[in-house]
Amino acid sequence: MKIAFVQMNCHFGHIEANLARAAELIESVAADLFVLPELFNTGYLFQSSDELQQLSESAKDGQTTRFLSQLCGRKNCHIVAGVAERATDGAIYNACVLVGPRGFLATYRKVHLFDTEKRWFTLGNKPFFVVDMGSAKIGMMICFDWIFPESMRSLALLGADIICHPANLVMPHCQKAMVTRCLENNVYAITANRIGSEERGDEHIAFTGCSQIVGPRGKVLTTATAREECVRIVDVDVTAARDKNLNSQNNLLADRRPNFYTY
């Protein structure tokens, strides 16, 4: 199975241009699963609830999901992409969608909001879950979820083979931490980060690029540099994520001692 990240710059408020750029990057390559950055369609630094309201859309059948569905149909692939989701009750989530050739499949709502995201977004209100695509079991988490080991452990316990991780990273630690997370859980993880910066009002933020795909045993399979727009593809054996034995005596999941842990 070929899995990929799309590392790109995103222009705040220019949804159509961001969709077109993502499609351009995906159109010329072939993979089964692509991961795009967090909020890749809207940009990141919102200044008001009104602004977020205007740029948000339905995860199921909004402009972005419809666009990605058509792209998946043409390319016969699946895409995980970060969007600002407007739910039917009006709440707005920092979310990502899983879309395939036949359209919308699932939405994950970011459980751990980062910094000023808490001003605008509603906290994710649904547990981590896994989608069985046949060829692989897919789990989703978004950016800052990485700092909570429980995120990826929950997905691994649910049987995820591949963790799709759209990101807008600003701190330098995530890439190293994801190596540990993949070692702890023996899974694949695709971190799709963005590049560039945003300056809005008094706020300025720079995104760190260096997207990566890490495999079982914490092996780094491919990495982007900090500034390039690119797609990187790795051909993976999904079954390697299913053997949780570390050696003849230790199993990463079966050896856990939950009765001794504090929650």
Based on CB atoms, which residue is closest to ligand ACM, 145 or 161? 145
Shortest distance, CB of residue 123 to ligand ACM, whole angstroms?
Answer: 13
Q: How far is Cα 240 from Cα 238, in angstroms, rounded to an integer? A: 5
Is residue 38 part of the annotated active site? The answer reads yes
Please say whether the beta carbons of 72 and 100 come within 8 A: yes
The only residue of 131, 169, 178, 252 in contact with ligand ACM, by rule CB under 6 A: 169
Using the contact rule CB under 6 A, the part of the chain among 29-37, 162-170, 209-217, 223-231 near ligand ACM is 162-170
Using the contact rule CB under 6 A, the part of the chain among 16-24, 127-135, 167-175, 211-219 near ligand ACM is 167-175
Based on CB atoms, which residue is closest to ligand ACM, 3 or 169? 169
Using the contact rule CB under 6 A, the part of the chain among 4-12, 16-24, 129-137, 166-174 near ligand ACM is 166-174
The only residue of 7, 41, 168, 208 in contact with ligand ACM, by rule CB under 6 A: 168
Binding to ligand ACM (CB under 6 A) within 24-53 occurs at 38
Q: How far is Cα 148 from Cα 263, in angstroms, rounded to an integer? A: 13
Based on CB atoms, which residue is closest to ligand ACM, 172 or 258? 172
Rounded to 5 degrees, what are φ and ψ at 12?
Answer: -55, 130
Q: Which of 214, 98, 201 is nearest to 162 (CA)?
A: 214
Instruction: Confirm or reject binding of residue 104 to ligand ACM (CB under 6 A).
Output: no
Q: How far is Cα 50 from Cα 213, in angstroms, rounded to an integer? A: 36
Q: Residues with Cβ < 8 Å from 34, sequence gap 6 or more? A: 4, 5, 6, 26, 77, 78, 79, 80, 231
H or E element at residue 241: none
Is residue 143 part of the annotated active site? The answer reads yes
Give me the torsion for CA of 17, 20, 22, 24, rounded to 10°.
-130
Shortest distance, CB of residue 185 to ligand ACM, whole angstroms?
Answer: 20
> Which residues of this chain interact with ligand ACM, rule CB under 6 A?
38, 114, 143-144, 168-170
Q: Which residues are catalytic?
A: 38, 110, 143
